[in-house]
């Protein structure tokens, strides 16, 4: 089947509003969808993870070594976070969302900032106390490389890592 | 950094409750996160799409040819849908969700069932009328191959395509 004819590509470079919206979506998110590539098969895989931020504002999660996404990230750290959840009302596809391409960096439990990360995470997620100390659980930072912001129909922006920081 | 020691793998084969929950999550979903592999880079990518079902119950979406996920699916149809949205209350990580591995099949606009799909889609999504007729928009079916169901901490199930049908 041939690919149908195309409208002009509506994706624009980020402007100040797009940058502000992308940063707000990241700042507000407490969870997100994570896309990874499964080791062995190369199949894409999507799952849900908790989301927070480290002291420098980088997206951060606490993941189980038993989860497929964790094994995938250890084998291939390129990933994508989808942040910006629709509310219970209205058309979910008009709600802005950010597809954030990133590289996952596992935090060594022996690193100097690990205890601070843990304390800060548990302060925001007290229920995580029951599993945060299990030996397979790890903190993982997501270092953004680029992003696609969808602010609703025909409002699409491309963002660089510079657009996302600061 | 060495991989930390592991607890026993908690993922179990599906039972009747898991099968029923997975089917319910699929039946209720009006949108989902879609994971694809980007053409060229092989980078995983996550975005949000609308979700419905065709007459046989297969997950169905209406996608724009300008969207990155559509170009990705045309190049490599293996994908993964994350369905099961947390409500506004409670811990989002305890809300059940299904990671559905699937193969995307674009519906030829000349196929006999295209008009029925379109009519049924627009009856559920009347706002889609404004763009459903644009020439780059296509219906795409998702043929499930397997799934991972997460019903909350330590409630993980592996499902086959047989578990998901019927």
What distance in Å separates the CA atoms of residue B40 and residue B47, rounded to the nearest whole number?
Answer: 18
- B155 assigned to some structural domain: yes
CB neighbourhood size of B116 (10 A): 12
- To the nearest whole Å, the CA of A91 is away from the closest chain B CA by 9
Q: What is the pLDDT of residue B94?
A: 87
Burial of A55: CB neighbours in 10 Å, binned 0-12, 13-18, 19+: exposed
- B2 assigned to some structural domain: no
Residue B153 confidence class, pLDDT cut points 50, 70, 90: low
pLDDT in tens, A24-47: 999 999 999 999 999 999 999 999
Residues in chain B closer than 8 A to A134 (CB atoms): 7
What distance in Å separates the CA atoms of residue A38 and residue A73, rounded to the nearest whole number?
Answer: 9
Which candidate in B32, B33, B68 is best for mutational testing of the A interface (most A CBs within 10 A)? B33
- B32 assigned to some structural domain: yes
Mean pLDDT estimate for chain B: 91
Which structural domain range is residue B142 located in? 11-164
Structure tokens at A59: 């997206």
Contact between chains at B46 and A74 (C-beta distance less than 8 A): no
Instruction: Choose among B91, B86, B78: nearest CA to B42.
Output: B78
Q: What percent of chain A has pLDDT over 90?
A: 76
Query: Looking at this predicted complex, what is its ipTM?
Result: 0.93
Q: Is the pLDDT of residue B2 over 60?
A: no
Q: What is the pLDDT of residue B1?
A: 54
- To the nearest whole Å, the CA of B122 is away from the closest chain A CA by 13
Residue B8 confidence class, pLDDT cut points 50, 70, 90: confident
pLDDT in tens, A4-18: 555 677 889 999 999
- A58 assigned to some structural domain: yes
Give the nearest partner residue to B46 out of A10, A81, A85, using CB atoms. A81
Contact between chains at A44 and B66 (C-beta distance less than 8 A): no
- A5 assigned to some structural domain: no
Contact between chains at B47 and A101 (C-beta distance less than 8 A): no
Domains held by chain B: number: 1
Give the nearest partner residue to A35 out of B35, B50, B74, using CB atoms. B35
Contact between chains at A101 and B45 (C-beta distance less than 8 A): yes
CB neighbourhood size of B28 (10 A): 11
Question: Which pTM value belongs to this model?
Answer: 0.94
- B151 assigned to some structural domain: yes
- A144 assigned to some structural domain: yes
CB neighbourhood size of A132 (10 A): 14
Residue B4 confidence class, pLDDT cut points 50, 70, 90: low
Q: Is the pLDDT of residue B32 over 70?
A: yes
Number of residues that make up chain B: 166
- To the nearest whole Å, the CA of B166 is away from the closest chain A CA by 24
Residue A166 confidence class, pLDDT cut points 50, 70, 90: low
- To the nearest whole Å, the CA of A26 is away from the closest chain B CA by 15
Find the CATH number of the domain harbouring A27: 2.30.110.10
* Mean pLDDT, range B82-93, rounded to an integer: 85
- B5 assigned to some structural domain: no
């Amino acid at each position: 089947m041939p690919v149908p004819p195309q409208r002009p590509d509506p994706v624009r470079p980020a402007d100040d509003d797009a940058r502000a919206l992308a940063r707000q979506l990241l700042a507000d998110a407490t969870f997100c969808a994570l896309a990874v590539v499964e080791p062995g098969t190369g199949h894409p895989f999507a799952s849900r993870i908790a989301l927070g931020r480290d002291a420098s504002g980088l997206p951060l999660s606490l993941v189980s070594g038993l989860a497929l996404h964790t094994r995938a990230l250890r084998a291939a750290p390129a990933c994508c976070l989808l942040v910006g959840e629709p509310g219970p009302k209205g058309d979910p596809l008009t709600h802005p969302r950010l597809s954030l391409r990133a590289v996952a960096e596992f935090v060594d439990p022996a690193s100097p900032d690990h205890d601070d990360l843990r304390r800060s995470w548990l302060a925001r997620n007290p229920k995580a106390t029951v599993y945060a100390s299990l030996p397979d659980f790890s903190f993982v930072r997501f270092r953004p490389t680029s992003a696609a912001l969808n602010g609703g129909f025909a409002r699409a922006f491309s963002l660089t890592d510079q657009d996302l920081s600061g």
